[in-house]
Amino acid sequence: MKKATETGYGITGIDLEMISLKRRTFLLGAAASTAGLYMGSFAPGIFAATGGHLEILGWEGETGDAELAEWRKQRGITVRSSYASNQDDITARLAGSDPVQLDLTMYALGYETIYQEMGLLKPIDTSKIPNYAAENIVPLFYKGSRWYWDGQQWGVPLLWGMNTIVYNPKKVQKPSQYKDLLDPKLKGRLTFVDDGTSNWSLIAIIAGYGDKYPNLTRAEFDDAFEKLKPYREQCRVFAASSGDAVSLLVSGEVDAVFSASANTPSETTKRGVQTALSVPKEGAALWCDALFIPKTAKDIPLALEFINKTLEADTQAKMATTMFSGVVNQKAVPLLPADLRNTFDYANLDVFFEKSKLYGQPPLSSDKYVTYAEWIDQWANFKGSF
């Protein structure tokens, strides 16, 4: 019997010489593996779950990643959430001839007309969303014209909130109207968040065109921006985002923000600086994010089930607490922390909504009124003082 060592095959009987890698083979293999790994990172995930899969694009904190984890586990569902930094991210992905596949996404107030015109929305069967019922939902958000028209539901309001003046009470007195921001003491101490759409309604309100917004004629539009110029003189820098506005308040670079998210004071407090909200007599800029099913949706029944879960009182309360926002399900109100409950004055919502309105967006195309694109351009010109 030949010894294994004599055969050269070892005890496995495999010729190690034969399988030894040549340098070129190794490099080719390594290159192929790298390319495979890289290309594989673009491939859609392989979802083992049997309950279904959802592709969601929305605002961070509003896609139920943590709040609906237990439900996903119980139902064997996988959800891939991606986050939009602004509404344009969503529009860009759904527009054009090759839109991205999404089962659920969101539109901010006013974009319903734009998306309707672009044909991006699918009607929603509310019979599959029992939580979206008149006895649950704050009346303003139940079948309101922003989400319901032509006898069909196109969007389901999820959370709402306000953008208003945020100030440092140690540095400035509480502004009770927008004109208070023109106080000489605030020269070079004010910032605007560079999110045009959330400022536009306020620009119209300050100029006295609140009732007409978002349909302003060219003359009204020019006048509104002319009247905004003194506020620009007070401005030190345009904050790149809400987070940047928080950073500017905390570092003491500015003492007031023209219009910032309601969660700004809680964010600055976390970083050791006390700031406060002020809803001036002209009102705040309201926002409301609505879930909608885009044309590219694949699993619509599951998307409807997801919407229903997000409207449950417990889920609403958790999401609103994370986002420091308002809930649309009235049954979630008692579950909210006291400071959040008081900020939105749920006991007097009618009065609140009388003062601060749910505004739409300027028209995409119009011969009579200034269009959305013209507002964008003018906002850029205003920032650049061109």
Choose the stretch contacting other proteins; rule: CB under 8 A; options: 121-129, 198-206, 243-251, 303-311.
243-251
91 binds other proteins (CB under 8 A): yes
247 binds other proteins (CB under 8 A): yes
222 binds other proteins (CB under 8 A): no
DSSP state letters, 51-107: SEEEEEEE-TTSS-TTTTHHHHHHHTEEEEEEE-SSHHHHHHHHSSSSPPP-SEEEE
Collapsing DSSP to helix, strand or coil, 246 comes out as: helix
Q: HSE on the CB side for 280, CA within 13 Å?
A: 22
Residue pair 292/304 in contact (Cβ under 8 Å)? The answer is: no
Residue pair 281/176 in contact (Cβ under 8 Å)? The answer is: yes
In whole angstroms, what is the distance from residue 294 CA to residue 377 CA? 28
Chain position carrying tokens 């009607």: 123
Nearer to other proteins, 198 or 310 (CB): 198
Written as one letter, the residue type at 53 is H
**Number of shown-chain residues binding other proteins (CB under 8 A):** 37
Collapsing DSSP to helix, strand or coil, 351 comes out as: helix
Nearer to other proteins, 76 or 243 (CB): 243
User: In the bound complex, what is the minimum distance in angstroms from residue 287's beta carbon to other proteins?
Assistant: 17
251 binds other proteins (CB under 8 A): yes
240 binds other proteins (CB under 8 A): yes
State how beta strands 256-261 and 235-239 pair: unpaired
Candidate residues 118, 182, 313, 349; the one interacting with other proteins per rule CB under 8 A: 118
383 binds other proteins (CB under 8 A): yes
Nearer to other proteins, 192 or 344 (CB): 192
Nearer to other proteins, 214 or 283 (CB): 214
Choose the stretch contacting other proteins; rule: CB under 8 A; options: 12-20, 48-56, 93-101, 206-214.
93-101
41 binds other proteins (CB under 8 A): no
- Cα→Cα distances 157→135, 145, 260, Å: 15, 11, 21
Residues 181-220 that bind other proteins (CB under 8 A): 188, 194, 196
- Cα→Cα distances 143→109, 157, 290, Å: 14, 9, 12
User: In the bound complex, what is the minimum distance in angstroms from residue 72's beta carbon to other proteins?
Assistant: 32
In whole angstroms, what is the distance from residue 91 CA to residue 105 CA? 10
Candidate residues 16, 27, 92, 347; the one interacting with other proteins per rule CB under 8 A: 92
End-to-end C-alpha distance for the chain, whole angstroms: 95
376 binds other proteins (CB under 8 A): yes
335 binds other proteins (CB under 8 A): no
Hey, which bits of 90-144 come out as E strands?
A: 104-108, 121-122
Point out which residues bind other proteins (CB under 8 A). 86, 88-89, 91-92, 95-97, 114, 117-118, 188, 194, 196, 232, 235-238, 240, 244, 247, 251-253, 364-365, 372-373, 376-377, 380-381, 383-386
